[in-house]
């Protein structure tokens, strides 16, 4: 059978195939409810092939239907394009709609037993499918269905055909395909040029096409007709309608009745899909918010946290996003910005940055000021559509979040709820990062205050020191060193390690340094001064804050008529210092004593040493010898080897050499603070 290339042919094909297969397969009458379910499948798939031929080829097409014992084979032949062209082509201009791009073929691939395409040398293009009959059906001889067979149906038969969609077929169709089949049946019954189902999901984008059967003439087409709109009887926030494009003189009352018959089922199907989409969307947003919280919670760096916020928002919630933070003067500054189109970033930055020219327009400036005061989210339209949301945490404003309208649609109420949620999480993360940053600044200032601002510069003696904290955050370490002049040609050098980190360790470090300085400057011997320091620490009653200490009293003197340095060394639970000799050897010196702050009576020993010209005394904390690489420690042997390698160099060079040796040895970032202090008797 050959049909002209118009949408009325599709309705004729559906009616012909249904009537003929109903008689051949079961011998029943059309519409009596006894037609096998697979006949409905054949009708559905055949109409998809015919619609593709009309939409894409635009030529007359031939229909072939063969009922074999076990299956029905349908073939549609046109003189149009091939498979690739079918996928890429636009429909003919007169129909004013986008191509289905293979949706019909996808449906055939899902439902048919087998299917395929054939391209002949004469330009004919055939798409065919075969569909197996129900198991157990009686076999019939192969019957080609080549003659047109159309008859009039009663009102009961029409209603049954319109509403009866086999459950097995309905389960295999997705909601859109199911509604398309219902629309196609309605089009068959009413001779409509098109049946369009539109749904408004309440997201601000208005009514959108959900499914259609047939195509409506374009605005410039020279065709006339009337449109019939029937609302969907929905029970949720969803709204929709079924629109029929009827030919001139059509029975509008009958079309209205038939449309109302299927409107309920269409509404249920559309609402079911919408509710599934809402549930899936809510699950996706829940996952998104959890991931956003994890990302924001992982960073305590203010700049990194602020830069992360727009990346989380775009493109999920808007086409662009900016974060503005207040300065101490309360004037806002642009802290972070991003856009889906990077080429538009410079322009956007110029109108959002309060410090730029021309800067934000008046309307946006008012919205920013209101948000900074904690006002509710507010809309703005200049320089672009968007919403301004206050960032508040701890009862104070931490900034303003600007989110631009998503491409092609306005923000929905659901979007606003999510933006507000992200704003709360971002505000808390920014507040925490800012608080931590302030603590870090205070801690670093405290750490710097516990170390000498500068080492003495005196003739014939070279001082050098380095301090490497294990953490750059708020955890102030307990390692310290000090050099203080106690008289002409006389200095006290100390290095120590207070147990613990943080403010308590810093306070105890300050106590040790200041008390020892005061006692030595009063003229007390080094051992007595350290014993009195121990009494002060024990009286504090905190044995968890003990301290190890190496203290040396240096006196400039002469040796073999050359300048030298005498050393009075006392060790209170601290590692023995290294002396690097001028001949390239190195050794550990001093006697171990008791750590401070643990017991009332401590055992201390003062040893006497001489730094001859060219020799260096190196004091260090346990972060050097206890630095690990797997099960190994850097230990004293490696320290002596590294120190000896720097014989004959400056004090600064010795310190740098030992530090580099430790860093090369470590398999990771050191977990303990490192302090080094070197004193060299210049030759």
pTM: 0.64
Give me the sign of the Cα torsion angle 311, 317, 318, 321. negative
Q: What are phi and psi of 658, to 5 degrees?
A: -65, -45
User: Can you list the domains of the chain with their CATH numbers?
Assistant: 1-153 (3.30.565.10), 299-444 (3.30.450.40), 450-681 (3.60.40.10)
Of residues 559 and 378, the one with the higher pLDDT is 378
Cα gap 184→180, rounded to integer Å: 6
Average pLDDT over residues 448-454: 87
Distances (CA, A) of 222 to 60, 219, 359, 481, 549: 21, 8, 52, 95, 101
Q: What is the DSSP string of 114-131?
A: EEEEEE-TTS-EEEEEEE
pLDDT at 201: 84
Of residues 106 and 517, the one with the higher pLDDT is 517
Most confident of 217-231, 261-275, 366-380, 610-624: 610-624
Sheet holding 616-620, edge to edge: 461-468, 674-681, 616-620, 578-580, 586-588
Distances (CA, A) of 197 to 8, 232, 247, 611: 19, 9, 18, 97
Average pLDDT over residues 396-406: 93
* 95 has a pLDDT exceeding 60: no
* 263 has a pLDDT exceeding 50: yes
Mean residue pLDDT across the chain: 85
What residues have CB less than 8 Å from 183, skipping those under 6 apart? 195, 196, 197, 211, 212, 213, 242, 266
**C-alpha 513: how far from chain center:** 48
pLDDT tens digits, one per residue of 604-662? 999 999 999 999 999 999 999 999 888 899 999 999 999 999 999 999 999 999 999 99
pLDDT at 143: 40
Distances (CA, A) of 443 to 21, 438, 509: 87, 9, 13
What's the chain's length in residues? 683
Average pLDDT over residues 493-519: 89
Q: What are phi and psi of 121, to 5 degrees?
A: -65, -25
pLDDT at 132: 82
Cα gap 526→490, rounded to integer Å: 13
Most confident of 48-52, 177-181, 239-243, 354-358: 239-243
Collapse the DSSP code of 192 into the 3-class scheme (helix H, G, I; strand E, B; otherwise coil) and give the result. coil
H helices within 53-174, ranges in order?
83-88, 103-111, 155-163, 167-172
Q: What are phi and psi of 294, to 5 degrees?
A: -65, -45
pLDDT tens digits, one per residue of 22-38? 766 654 444 444 455 77
Give long-range contacts, CB 8 A cutoff, 24+ apart: 276-279.
Answer: none
Average pLDDT over residues 459-485: 86
Asked if residue 74 lies in contact with residue 115, where contact means CB atoms within 8 angstroms, the answer is no
pLDDT at 440: 80
Of 568, 559, 562, nearest to 524 (Cα)?
568
Cα gap 334→420, rounded to integer Å: 20
pLDDT at 108: 81
């Amino acid at each position: 059978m050959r049909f002209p290339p118009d949408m009325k042919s599709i309705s004729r094909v559906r009616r012909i195939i249904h009537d003929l297969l109903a008689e051949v397969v079961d011998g029943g009458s059309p519409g009596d409810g006894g037609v096998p379910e697979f006949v409905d499948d054949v009708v559905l798939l055949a109409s998809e092939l015919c619609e593709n031929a009309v939409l894409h080829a635009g030529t007359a097409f031939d229909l072939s239907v063969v009922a074999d014992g076990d299956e029905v084979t349908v073939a549609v032949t046109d003189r149009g394009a091939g498979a690739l062209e079918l996928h890429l082509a636009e429909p003919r201009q007169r129909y004013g709609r986008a191509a289905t791009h293979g949706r019909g073929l996808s449906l055939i691939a899902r439902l048919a037993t087998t299917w395929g395409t054939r391209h002949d040398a004469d330009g004919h293009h055939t798409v065919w499918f075969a569909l197996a009959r129900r198991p157990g059906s009686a076999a019939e001889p192969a019957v080609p269905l080549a003659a047109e067979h159309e008859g009039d149906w009663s009102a009961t038969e029409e209603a049954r055909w319109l509403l009866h969609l086999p459950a097995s077929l309905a389960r295999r169709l997705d909601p859109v395909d199911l509604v398309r089949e219902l629309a196609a049946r309605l089009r068959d019954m009413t001779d409509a040029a098109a049946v369009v189902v539109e749904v408004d999901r309440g997201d601000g984008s208005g009514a959108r096409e959900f499914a259609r059967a047939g195509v409506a003439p374009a605005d410039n087409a020279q065709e006339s007709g009337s449109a019939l709109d029937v609302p969907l009887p929905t029970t949720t926030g969803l709204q929709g309608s079924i629109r029929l494009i009827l030919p001139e003189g059509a029975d509008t009352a009958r079309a209205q009745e038939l449309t109302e018959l299927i409107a309920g089922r269409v509404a249920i199907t559309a609402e079911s899909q919408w509710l599934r989409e809402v549930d899936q969307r809510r699950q996706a947003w829940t996952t998104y918010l959890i991931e956003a919280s994890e990302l924001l919670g992982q960073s305590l760096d203010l700049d990194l946290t602020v830069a992360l916020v727009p990346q989380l928002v775009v493109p999920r919630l808007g086409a662009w996003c900016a974060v503005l933070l207040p300065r101490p003067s309360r004037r806002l500054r642009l802290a972070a910005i991003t856009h889906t189109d990077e080429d538009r970033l410079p322009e956007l930055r110029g109108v959002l940055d309060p410090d730029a020219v021309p800067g934000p327009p008046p309307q946006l400036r008012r919205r920013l000021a209101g948000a900074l005061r904690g006002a509710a989210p507010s809309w703005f339209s200049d320089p672009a559509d968007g919403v301004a949301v206050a960032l508040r945490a701890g009862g104070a404003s931490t900034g303003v979040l600007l989110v631009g309208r998503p491409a092609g649609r306005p923000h929905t109420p659901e979007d606003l709820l999510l933006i507000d949620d992200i704003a709360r999480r971002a505000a808390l993360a920014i507040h925490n990062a800012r608080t931590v940053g302030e603590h870090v600044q205070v801690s670093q200032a405290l750490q710097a205050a516990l170390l000498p601002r500068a080492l003495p510069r005196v003739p014939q003696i070279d001082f050098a020191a380095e301090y490497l904290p294990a953490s750059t955050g708020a955890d102030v370490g307990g390692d310290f060193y000090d050099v203080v002049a106690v008289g002409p040609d006389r200095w006290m050098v100390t290095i120590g390690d207070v147990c613990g980190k943080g403010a308590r360790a810093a306070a105890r470090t300050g106590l040790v340094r200041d008390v020892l300085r005061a006692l030595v400057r009063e003229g007390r011997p080094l051992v007595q001064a350290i014993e009195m320091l121990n009494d002060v620490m024990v009286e504090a009653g905190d044995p968890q804050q003990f301290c190890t200490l190496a203290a040396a009293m240096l006196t400039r003197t002469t040796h073999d008529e050359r300048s030298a340095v005498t050393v009075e060394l006392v060790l209170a639970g601290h590692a023995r210092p290294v002396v690097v000799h001028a001949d390239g050897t190195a050794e550990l010196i001093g006697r171990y004593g008791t750590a401070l702050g643990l017991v009332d009576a401590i055992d201390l020993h003062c040893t006497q040493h001489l730094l001859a010209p060219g020799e260096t005394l190196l004091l260090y904390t346990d972060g050097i010898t206890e630095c690990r690489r797997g099960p190994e420690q850097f230990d004293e042997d490696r320290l002596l080897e590294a120190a000896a390698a720097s014989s004959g160099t400056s004090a600064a060079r010795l310190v740098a050499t030992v530090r580099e040796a430790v860093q090369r040895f470590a398999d990771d970032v050191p977990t303990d603070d490192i302090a080094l202090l070197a004193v060299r008797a210049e030759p």
